[in-house]
Chain A
């Protein structure tokens, strides 16, 4: 569905994308993963024709540089944040988007219903919560039922509750007819949404793997903040260190660094050493 060959983007001397080759099949959901500045968003912008580029992008067999309008008619784009005037209402935004996509405006209500913003249709966008704004952005992207969704860090500005609800909505949108390309920092949502992960570093593809292999293949580590009985923090940290787990006491608990895919090992180690876990949080 989407193929890039030698995709390169330069900003002066800075190379944002360096000869990137990608392939996304019909019905496949692919996550672009990497640190800030790795080039994930630039790929999305090049596919949409928002940035100039060298190399070739093909969408549904069409050259994106030669037929940018037709290519965009196949794509629904969800930006990081809706960049509207805050006084524009939800229905006005949806109507504008539908007209640009040549979608029958009679379908607006059904789309707003699908993403759960019907009751906010006549409210200004500025008055919506971050989660509702992002639901609206997804709704606008879905107008016309495009076969491709490009999602540029769709949950990056959301709190945990809103993120969960948006990820759940996106999960429901996965279908064998729809390809999804998603950029994200959040390993949990990649696990839920992606069939394949492409890892970017300084504008290059450095790894392709399944979503559940990502932590191990990238050597990702998580920080757990574990709450145990207050008087035993120093001893517990020493006991874990003796078992080869990096741990430091802090005022409220013990901070533990573990491989991202093996968080349970640390919690078991506390129990095994005789320090029952009261509570814990994943800090990163």
Chain B
């Protein structure tokens, strides 16, 4: 069976169009933009009070915001897009055309990822604009790199969300599982690794592997060096990463994010091809 890119792009355009009109995306984008702006302003105010210059504090806050909000945005939107379309019957309508399920899934993924990328970029863009107008120190390149990594995180979370939604019959169950995945990746994963490391006296190399295998932590490891800070701030796993991997740790973390796009994408495709529309 042939894979036709023009059909993929047709589906992607349709999905992007629908994503941009989706109320949930606007709520997420608005909240992300407001919080990013507030963090930038508070970081600038803090710098003035303490007399310190530097962009590190603001950037660290933005990393913390992105690693919490971006996975929530990607997972829920990814899970809801296919499950919601199936529930409404829209998926049946599209799949009744001469288009393969692979083309529909890839097109949907590209359209949704594009919409989410726009939302994340807009949030960081507003924060960057406020920083620039207020005369904040720091290189625009570091904000751009941070935006790129956040977009990579967003896309990987869309892939995970779509893998959840690909086999879900109801959007409510897809939403429930996506929120569970968010809790596991953002909170429980971190706490679980800490608890396991203490209880099992986990070697630091295994600790690093456990940390970097989590896409949210991988984003943090890749993002910290972009604003000139050392991975030391991430604790023993960060120190070990510097000692063993050096500057490659950031690249390795970025590769992990790409793996988190391809892996769940493959799982999602298998589920989507097996499930009735």
Contacts and interface: CB of A to CB of B under 8 A. Distances in A.
A101 B98 contact: yes
Contact of A100 (B90, B99, B274, B277): B99
Interface in A63-119: 67-70, 72-73, 75, 77, 79, 81-85, 87, 96-97, 99-102
10 contacts: A48-B95, A68-B100, A69-B100, A72-B96, A72-B98, A81-B89, A82-B93, A83-B90, A99-B7, A101-B97
A50 B277 contact: yes
Nearest to B10: A99
B276 interface: yes
Nearest to A93: B93
Contacts of B99: 69, 72, 100
Contacts of A36: none
Residue in B2, B98, B277 whose Cβ sees the most chain A Cβ within 10 Å: B98
Contacts of B2: 69
B98 A84 contact: no
B92 A50 contact: yes
Interface in A36-51: 45, 48-51
Nearest to B1: A69
The 10 closest A-B pairs by CB, nearest first: A83-B89, A73-B98, A100-B97, A77-B96, A50-B277, A72-B98, A99-B10, A83-B90, A51-B276, A69-B98
Interface of A: 45, 48-52, 67-70, 72-73, 75, 77, 79, 81-85, 87, 96-97, 99-102
B94 interface: yes
Contacts of B274: 52
Nearest to A143: B97
Query: Interface residues of B toward A: which range?
Result: 20 to 34
Contact of A96 (B10, B21, B89, B95): B10
B18 interface: yes
B88 A97 contact: no
A108 B89 CA distance: 23
Nearest to A82: B93
Nearest to B92: A50
A45 B93 CA distance: 11
Interface in B79-115: 88-90, 92-100
Given A96-B14, A100-B7, 10 more contacts: A48-B95, A51-B276, A52-B274, A68-B1, A69-B100, A83-B90, A84-B93, A85-B18, A99-B10, A100-B99
